[in-house]
């Protein structure tokens, strides 16, 4: 076994119980999963295509056909500007001072390029204009840096060129820029959902990860949103950051309950230098923590895997009575709805297409996927040459479509019903797929899932390790 990974797993806070998954990950036969969780930075869900160098014409044809058949789609617009780069960030961003005169042209350019890309999508995929948008998200970066005229211009375009008749609209920002006036603007434009990254409610942790807002600004953003009638506020928290202990995560969870957050995303971070992944949003650069030599100093260190799983179990314990996790890492109050956009693209009965417009976007349907360029200069050059800024595309074989559907269904943490699977795949059972069938045998043996009749459910260990299951266990039968 990887001794470094095992030592990290044995990094335990003695004031808290040994995490449930410790014994499982300590077994030599589970070393591949231990290696994965040790090296994986964010627990990304990977549902890759298996046909490399898939022709773009085929990708667009697949998207057009599936979008035309889907009841709803998920539509993204990426605005990648940020006023600084967080220490853990590996995402493609354009760093600028929003108050500088030179930045104003960048905002204009970004909206121009986003609109141009969207127009090209509408030309390449004719069914897109009439497809019912289930949820529209403006993500970043920090879209809340956009000046009011540019945000209005962007929304004027989307509302007049896409079918928003049944859409909910969501906007991602950052506490230092989501002022009360900006929130009022968002409400006027039709946004009903707000999300932002707090990362922590402790100013020491916030500062250590390079954020330039305070915990109080996070609280004020939540209160201002509620005051003006924006009840859906989703807050992102991270556990496993530099200098963070189990007690710090306990404090954050107490704040979640105190603030009665409607929705909260709680993500594991284990920073490791890594290359660009299928999601198309990861960079190829070291984090600021790495570049500045802050990792492993006497004053601040990263909590090991053992402490991270103690943190995860705290999340489960604190939120068990009032919240439901659906999908993994996404928590919502029991009496409220889960994240609509995640359900659209991952729930087994739907798994509809998504279209992402902007730097680093990732668009997909069941048969194909494409990833946008992540470098801003190259992104602009492509659009200036009247080319969609797609860096690569992959196809998905019929066998892999079934595997991806099953993996996405597992990620929702909802039991997978083979009868629903059969409805999706013309009567084919998930057991008819050799990769799924063989993997299920292994997962049952490892007590990561249980099978009762037609229903496959994750065990408690399976819920905790679902990303590792998705990304390490599904291999070709002959592998």
Strand order in the sheet with 449-452: 416-417, 455-458, 449-452
pLDDT at res. 275: 28
Strands 390-395 and 368-372: antiparallel
Q: Are 389 and 372 in contact (CB under 8 A)?
A: yes
CATH of 398-474 given 3.40.50.300, 3.90.1150.10, 1.10.10.920, 3.90.550.10: 1.10.10.920
Res 272: pLDDT: 46
Domain 56-346 sits in which CATH superfamily?
tm_1862 like domain (3.80.30.20)
Residues of the chain with pLDDT under 50: 271-284, 479
What sign does the CA torsion over 100, 105, 111, 113 have? negative
Q: Cis link prior to 141 (omega < 30° from 0)?
A: yes
Can you give the pLDDT at residue 43?
58
Instruction: Delimit the CATH 3.80.30.20 region(s) of the chain.
Output: 56-346
pLDDT at residue 477 in the model: 61
Chain region(s) in the chain for CATH 1.10.10.920: 398-474
- Nearest CA to 37 out of 246, 240, 247, 208 is that of 240
Closest CA to 375 of 240, 291, 249, 285: 285
323-325 and 449-452 as β-strands: parallel, antiparallel, unpaired?
unpaired
- Tell me the torsion sign for CA atoms 406, 412, 416, 417: negative
359, 376 contact by CB (below 8 A): yes
Q: Determine the pLDDT at residue 476.
A: 73
pLDDT of residue 42: 55
Residue 333 DSSP code: E
Q: What is the pLDDT of residue 465?
A: 95
- Per the CB < 8 A criterion, the answer to whether 305 and 369 are in contact is no
> β-strands 323-325, 330-333: how paired?
antiparallel
Per-residue confidence (pLDDT) for residue 270, from 0 to 100: 54
């Amino acid at each position: 076994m990887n001794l470094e990974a095992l030592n990290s797993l044995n990094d335990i806070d003695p004031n808290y119980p040994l995490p449930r998954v410790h014994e499982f990950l300590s077994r030599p036969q589970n070393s591949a999963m231990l290696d994965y969780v040790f090296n994986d930075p964010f627990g990304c869900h990977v549902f890759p295509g298996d046909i490399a160098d898939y022709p773009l014409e085929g990708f667009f044809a697949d998207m057009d056909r599936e979008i035309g058949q889907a009841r709803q789609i998920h539509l993204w617009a990426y605005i990648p500007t940020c006023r600084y780069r967080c220490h853990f960030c590996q995402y493609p961003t354009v760093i600028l001072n929003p108050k500088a005169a030179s930045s104003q042209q960048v905002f204009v350019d970004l909206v121009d390029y986003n609109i141009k890309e969207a127009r090209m999508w509408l030309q390449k995929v004719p069914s897109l204009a009439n497809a019912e948008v289930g949820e529209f998200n403006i993500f970043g970066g920090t879209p809340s840096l956009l000046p009011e005229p540019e945000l209005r211009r962007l929304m004027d375009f989307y509302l007049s060129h896409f079918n928003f008749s049944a859409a909910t609209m969501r906007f991602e920002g950052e506490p230092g820029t989501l002022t009360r006036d900006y929130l009022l603007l968002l409400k006027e434009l039709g946004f009903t959902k707000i999300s932002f990254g707090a990362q922590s409610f402790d100013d020491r942790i916030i500062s250590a990860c390079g954020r330039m807002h305070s915990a109080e600004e996070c609280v004020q953003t939540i209160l201002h949103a509620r005051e003006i009638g924006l009840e859906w506020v989703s807050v992102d928290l991270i556990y496993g950051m530099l200098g963070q202990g189990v007690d710090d995560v306990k404090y954050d969870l107490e704040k979640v309950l105190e603030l009665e957050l409607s929705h909260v995303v709680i993500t594991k971070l284990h920073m490791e230098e890594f290359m660009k992944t299928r999601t198309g949003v990861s960079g190829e650069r070291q984090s600021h923590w790495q570049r500045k030599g802050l990792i492993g100093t006497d004053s601040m260190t990263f909590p090991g895997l053992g402490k991270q799983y103690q943190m995860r179990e705290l999340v489960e314990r604190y939120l068990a009575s009032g919240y439901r996790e659906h999908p993994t890492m996404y928590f919502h109050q029991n009496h409220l709805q889960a994240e609509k956009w995640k359900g659209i693209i991952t729930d087994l009965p739907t798994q509809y297409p998504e279209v992402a417009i902007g730097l680093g976007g990732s668009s997909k349907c069941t048969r194909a996927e494409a990833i946008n360029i992540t470098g801003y200069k190259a992104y602009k050059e492509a659009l200036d040459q009247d080319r969609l800024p797609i860096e690569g595309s992959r196809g998905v074989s019929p066998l892999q479509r079934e595997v991806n559907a099953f993996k996405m269904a597992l990620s929702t943490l909802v039991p997978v019903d083979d009868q629903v699977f059969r409805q999706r795949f013309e009567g084919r059972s998930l057991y008819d797929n050799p990769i799924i069938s063989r993997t299920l045998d292994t997962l049952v043996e490892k007590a990561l899932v249980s099978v009762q009749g037609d229903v496959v459910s994750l065990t408690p260990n399976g819920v905790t390790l679902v990303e590792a299951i998705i990304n390490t266990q599904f291999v070709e039968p002959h592998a």
